[in-house]
Amino acid sequence: MVRYLALISLTVFFASGLVVLEDARTEPVLAATTVRGPDQILGAPRYSQTTVESYARSIDCSRYIMKTIPIYYRLAPRRNIAPEVLVAQAIVETGRGYYGGDSKPWNMAGIKKGGAVGDNPKDFEVPPTAYEGVRMHLNHMAAYTGKRPIGEPHDRFYDARAAQKQRGWWVRRISQLGDGIWATDSSYASKIQNHLDDMGRR
């Protein structure tokens, strides 16, 4: 009986050791997959909020960009979207936050109202606060990447989600945002990527 109990204890000990070894082998693999590639939209940020704020100041971004950066870093990780990608996109879309086009603050990504097809100021959403502007931008990216929105989404969310579902794939890379997906500009993705590359040189 004693020998039988010892054998059981020894079996449990070795089995536990194998589980620990298995966990140890898989842990680095899991950690490696959380590192976001330079062209990826989803995943952990490559650059800290401080680095992105420093970069935004260095290129003379307006207060509209500066005020939203902490909000991007608070909200975007909740949907596994890299906050600095959205900041770089907002810099491109708003002309560093100076809004030279028809879109107005706090619309951070030139998002139109649901069903709107024109380019007049009345066709664009006008969020009342920085928080709502960031939330709308994040939700719009969520529509393209297949993520759930935060709170009640804007009307254009449903248009974008339906269009992407019809294409049959979810956006995963910055390089997929141009050529009529998010924007018609063929250099749209490279403009965003250039800002991200410059952030990495800070």
Could you tell me the two tokens for 70? 């902490």
Under 8 Å CB-to-CB from 156, ≥6 apart: which residues? 111, 112, 113, 114, 116, 125, 140, 143
* pLDDT surpassing 50 at residue 24: no
- Percent pLDDT > 90 in the chain is 79
pLDDT of res. 5: 44
Q: What is the mean pLDDT of residues 10-32?
A: 37
Split at pLDDT 50, 70, 90, the class of 35 is confident
Query: Which segment of 4-8, 117-121, 173-177 scores lowest on mean pLDDT?
Result: 4-8
Could you tell me the two tokens for 93? 């879309």
pLDDT of res. 34: 58
pLDDT of res. 173: 98
pLDDT of res. 202: 85
**145-159, pLDDT tens digit by residue?**
999 999 999 999 999
